[in-house]
Structure 1
């Protein structure tokens, strides 16, 4: 992107609504409640013919640095310092407030270009607030409606005038080089990976989601990975609301990590805003390749912890457990042995799942955690040849033959792997509907043990073989 823009303003003036409008997706949570956004969220914006990077920020408020509002303000100030241009949003419907005056003074002291934007200008009685905006001394305000998309052409012209033609429109040669460098990677990371699986690519970007109960230390863990206070943290539970993505490198490999809101039991989630946060976290799980479930080592294996692991496995994601706050454990060896025993006993559907003790405060165990993530992703991408699978299937039937149902023994004839991510297999057999669940578990556990597939979901589909003597029109198609 040619330049970076930060959206700033006091709470509830429509910053996240404008952010969603510019990125073309509903990435940021939007609600009538002031102060929904807390972290700074980046995105790729498109405005007519402009392409730039945009950062959504929390509403600026006057507060002490030790308070939650003070820490939110520090995140916003960091976004302003990072950006080349600030969009200062004021509410034309409500008019100016002393907070707007203080923010205007702060932006002037930064000395960076500022575009004054009067949002909600479509509302009746907004003219007074629009003309009041001139008193801020930041130039002529640009009237828009982020909700309805009005005034976007004027906003585009104001951004170009503030940032300059050369910065707004880089040379075409640079754009052509970007197309060559980026687009083939995007294609290569998608369909070809599913259809023709080669050796595991250690260099491809990896998408990792961090999930867990509220106050388990997810944001602190990511900040320790990044080596900076990128995400808002604190002793309060439920600070994170949006799913924020950050990129960094681990041993030369690009990692795109998603911080998510803490997920409580469904019965306890009553407020609309928390429901939106949980839905955003679920989308992050479905988008990720590997999911790290963060447990609080001081109170592990709560019912919600087990349900989160089960959810990740049912979604078909590769799962890793991180026992966080390990620095608070007095007897690490005894506690670790107990946690391993409980992991095997309470999570049979994820047998062999990798679990690593870590500390987001001290940074202990982070390399081991990332190595477990990479190893699990390699297992999740694994493919097994058809010849090996059929030899294994024959040996399994000799060791434990399929049961007889209604006096007729079931026959498993042929097996092949139909997909990876997660590993999925197809077995041709007689009467698949009669195969008991216990034998399916026997095959699943055998695959996990014999082909070293620990901790990843395994899907086995059974298909009835066609009867060659049956008329074609009566054959069942599965």
Structure 2
């Protein structure tokens, strides 16, 4: 990227709409409700042949530092300090407000370049606001409409002087773009590339400590946290390194029961979190150790398994547990009983606040990821299948026994196997589960989803006329 630009301004002036247009994808949540964006979100922007990093920020508000709005403002100020230029946006239809004047003065004191943007300037309704914005003393405003894409050529001209001519290593885009290839659709035969960032999504119920955990991993207050439930809205990706291995961590919004999700904004947040799960490789499901294995926890675990992602369960707030040995034994028993579809899943006690257990958590993530990528040779599979059929053959259905002839692994990520048999539609589901559990135990495929597909082998005599 040639430079970094932060979009700042009052709430609800259209910052996230401009961010989405510059990155070319609707990855930032947009709603008529003021204050939708809370964390700062970077992305790879482009206008014509101009490439740069754009940072979406929360709306600037005057508030006490201890309040949620005050912590949001601290995130915005961090983005301003990080950026090379600030794109100060006002609402041209509302005109210049006292808050705009206050924040314009704040940006002047930083001593960094500022580009003034008068958004919503389409039509005659915004003309007065554009003229009024000259009074802010930030130079000539760029009149545009982020919603309709008008005025982007003027924005290009305003940002062109900040382009750097010296070559730089391109930074990874910290967003889940809609154009990315979902996990599992890439080349299955390729070996695991340890230099490529491992994508890890941290999910869970609201107030389970997801953002606090990621902040502790990073060693900085990168994500907005607090005692309020449901602070995180956008799925934010941050880069990290563990033992020399690059990791891309995705913080997600807390997901409540579907019946309790009432507002449009919360539905958008949950949808963003679900998309992060689909594009992740390993999902760390964060439980509140003081109230674990709630119904929503089990539903989230089932969702991760159905999506085919590697699963690790982090028992957060472990520092609040008194009898830890007894609690751990109870949780392992519950995991075996309540999560049979993820048998052998790793349960790692951690404290996102103190940082204890994080290294063990990442060890479990690395091990589960390796299992998720494992391939079993066809010869080993068929030797195992022969022993299984000898010990426990398929039951006879309607007086005819189902014949299992051959098995192979079609792909990994997650491990997917294909078994060829005489009558796939007649094989009982219980026997299919027996085969899946046997694969899991024999080849060490614990804690990852296993998919077994049944296919009917070709009949070489089908279509031939019978000889008399």
Whether 2:456 is the aligned partner of 1:460: answer no
Whether 2:208 is the aligned partner of 1:216: answer yes
Q: Partner of 2:197 in structure 1?
A: 205
Kindly report which structure 2 residues correspond to 1:217-296, keeping only aligned pairs within 5 A, or say none.
217-296=209-288
* C-alpha deviation, 1:466, in angstroms: 1.5
Question: Take 2:132 and 2:299, find their aligned partners in 1: how far apart are those partners?
Answer: 53
Q: Partner of 2:323 in structure 1?
A: 331
Question: Take 1:189 and 1:348, find their aligned partners in 2: how far apart are those partners?
Answer: 26
Pairwise CA RMSD of aligned residues? 1.9
Q: Partner of 2:103 in structure 1?
A: 103
Whether 2:374 is the aligned partner of 1:382: answer yes
Q: 1:472 to 1:14 in 2, by over 3 A?
A: farther
Question: Take 1:65 and 1:386, find their aligned partners in 2: how far apart are those partners?
Answer: 61
TM-score (norm 2): 0.95
* C-alpha deviation, 1:169, in angstroms: 4.6
Q: 1:291 to 1:61 in 2, by over 3 A?
A: same
Contact 1:118 1:142 in 2 (8 A): yes
- Of 394, 397, 408, 1:402 maps to 394
Q: Partner of 1:15 in structure 2?
A: 15
Q: Partner of 1:30 in structure 2?
A: 30
* C-alpha deviation, 1:217, in angstroms: 0.3
Kindly report which structure 2 residues correspond to 1:70-89, keeping only aligned pairs within 5 A, or say none.
70-89=70-89
Q: Partner of 2:69 in structure 1?
A: 69
* C-alpha deviation, 1:124, in angstroms: 3.4
Question: Take 1:195 and 1:245, find their aligned partners in 2: how far apart are those partners?
Answer: 25
Question: Take 1:277 and 1:110, find their aligned partners in 2: how far apart are those partners?
Answer: 33
Encode CA deviations 1:170-205: one digit per residue, 9 max, x unaligned: 25xx37x869xxxxxxx999999634244x443332
Q: Partner of 2:175 in structure 1?
A: none
Q: Partner of 1:297 in structure 2?
A: 289
Question: Take 1:230 and 1:313, find their aligned partners in 2: how far apart are those partners?
Answer: 29
Whether 2:311 is the aligned partner of 1:319: answer yes
* C-alpha deviation, 1:465, in angstroms: 1.2
Contact 1:194 1:420 in 2 (8 A): no
Question: Take 1:157 and 1:65, find their aligned partners in 2: how far apart are those partners?
Answer: 37
Encode CA deviations 1:193-244: one digit per residue, 9 max, x unaligned: 634244x443332001010000000000000110000000000000000000
Q: Partner of 1:6 in structure 2?
A: 6
SS of residue paired to 1:235? coil
Q: Partner of 1:362 in structure 2?
A: 354
Encode CA deviations 1:365-418: one digit per residue, 9 max, x unaligned: 000001111111100000000000000000111111110111111111000000
Structure 2: any 5+ residue segments left out of the alignment? 172-179
Question: Take 1:80 and 1:373, find their aligned partners in 2: how far apart are those partners?
Answer: 34
Question: Take 2:267 and 2:137, find their aligned partners in 1: how far apart are those partners?
Answer: 41
Contact 1:194 1:419 in 2 (8 A): no
SS of residue paired to 1:445? helix
Q: Partner of 2:50 in structure 1?
A: 50
Question: Take 2:464 and 2:373, find their aligned partners in 1: how far apart are those partners?
Answer: 37
Relative to its length, the structure with more helix (as a share) is 1
- Of 171, 185, 189, 1:196 maps to 189
Q: Partner of 1:137 in structure 2?
A: 137
Contact 1:197 1:383 in 2 (8 A): no
